[in-house]
Amino acid sequence: MAHTPEGGGLAQRVRAALHRTHGAYADGGDRPLGGYLAAMTAFGAYTAAWATAVRLRGRPLPERPDPWDVALTSVATFRLSRLLSKAAVTSPLRAPFTRYVGPEGPAELHEEARPESGRETVGELMTCPFCTSVWVTSSLTAGLLLAPRATRTAMGALTALAGADALQLGYAALVRKATGED
């Protein structure tokens, strides 16, 4: 490797610059910027892969998104993101990267990312419905472009589930109000 007159190779200088950037950004804290960069890279690769699959199929992209698909994708993304990131039943998927803290709402859990290197970023992604929704929306968009009928069927089921959840919560609130449990 070629060395510079300053006594460090390019890789060493890049590492030093990244270390300085991390220190200045974190302000004494420990932010997993490397993990975030890896997650962004993985997301870019994932999106590029399905975009390539769409292109290889040779079907033209729609001129603009159908408003019904946007609404359906929004509700399905909301429900699937919460199911993946908060539901008690999906906690085994998150357990390698998180620690249980306690219950949080009906059938949902509060978990925290494990601070160990390599687990923190994944744990943050897996416990944040907003973070998870980026991946879910991308996946549903890919589904609409690659297998629209099956994707719309799955999104319809997720939307119905979100509606049923809203009705369950509304009913529980009405019962509490009627029985004076508020």
Structure confidence by residue, pLDDT tens digits, 104-135: 988 899 999 998 877 899 999 999 999 999 99
* pLDDT tens digits along 20-55: 877 788 777 777 788 888 999 999 999 999 999 999
Query: Model pTM?
Result: 0.83
- Report the alpha-carbon distance of residue 7 to residue 178 in Å, rounded: 77
- Report the alpha-carbon distance of residue 15 to residue 76 in Å, rounded: 41
Residues in the chain: 182
* 7 φ/ψ sector (left φ>0, alpha ψ -120 to 50, else beta): left
